Amino acid sequence: MNSSVSTFPITFTIYSSLGLYNFALVILSANSLLLYIVISERSLHSPMYILIAGMASVDLSFPLVCIPSMLLGLLFDWRGISLGGCLVQMEFIHFVGAFQSTFLVWMALDRYFAICTPLYYHERMAIPRFLKFVIPFLIRNFLLNTLMVSLAGTLSFCASNVMNHCFCEHMALVELACGSTAINNLVGLLTAAFIPVADFLLITVSYIIIFSSVLSSGKTGVKALHTCVTHIVVISVSLTVALTAYLSYRSKNGFPAVVRVFFSIMYLLFPSCFNPIIYGMRTTEIRQHILKTLMCCETVKTQRCKRLSGKQKMSF
């Protein structure tokens, strides 16, 4: 079998127990609510909240694209995907993962401007100036991920074409190749170093600067410090899961397939589940609007029930 193979059967049966669809439901509901709140409330149309809405949009993309194909595989036993389709899915998944990491850098940058240089905040967060920080990261993510995926597409596959995974991940595909994969491993390592690890270092440095700026500002400083610590914890856990997933393929002893898949899924789903809570629900303004929206929905529901009850009484 060579790189012209048309399908890569993927086995889904061991992954339904991972709670994948429960995670997807949480991601879809939490991020959709957050996105609706920011779009519908004009008072939230400021740089910080627009970034939060952008993060919610990115977090929605993974379950909207990948979960349906996994569900179809479970329901109709569709376990095959063409090599081209696998590479396209791989590009999308890894680009979304990189985009999640990069969004956290932009949000940390937003907090740095807001706390450390408040007088110049709106000037520096204006779209023309902020694009100077956005475009380089997007180019980096696109080039590194495209190079990684393109090299994976040049591999030859002469043994098994069964991928023990639920989506096309880079190392899962490289593991199936015969011949030398040293360049693929190197590019994968560089991609991990220059995207999630580099982003984590940039975020950490920005928060260290913020810490030093707010430690002497009383209650306001303590509040900002608490928020930043929460962000750092979530980012640290996400990076740890990502690196564990990456290193699980390089372990000499080898991890069970289900463990590899679990960490790979958590790398994508953990941020998508907790970003709405950390960057949305914990933000006072967004939380107030969410409660207001839920109360309005409850009021409308109560009024409809009363009207229905009144009509039933009149009919008697």
Q: How far apart are CA 105 and CA 103, in angstroms?
A: 5
The token pair that represents 15 in the structure block: 């992954």
**Is 16-305 a domain of CATH 1.20.1070.10?**
yes
Residues, the chain, total? 316
Low-confidence ranges of the chain (pLDDT < 70): 1-20, 65-80, 159-160, 217-228, 230, 250-255, 281-282, 297-316
The token pair that represents 192 in the structure block: 């991990």
> What is this structure's pTM?
0.79
Residue ranges of alpha helices (H) inside the chain are: 20-40, 47-76, 83-116, 121-124, 127-153, 170-174, 182-192, 198-214, 218-247, 257-276, 284-315
Longest CA span, the chain? 82
Residue 96: the pLDDT is 86
Q: Report the amino acid identity of residue 61.
A: S
Could you read off the pLDDT of 100-133 as tens digits, one per residue?
A: 888 888 888 888 888 888 888 888 888 888 888 8
Looking at residue 278, the DSSP 8-state letter turns out to be I
The token pair that represents 280 in the structure block: 């949305």
Q: Which candidate, 53, 51, 56, places its Cα nearest to that of 109? A: 51
Q: How far apart are CA 250 and CA 295, in angstroms?
A: 51
Could you read off the pLDDT of 153-182 as tens digits, one per residue?
A: 888 877 667 777 777 788 888 888 888 888
Residue 123: the pLDDT is 87
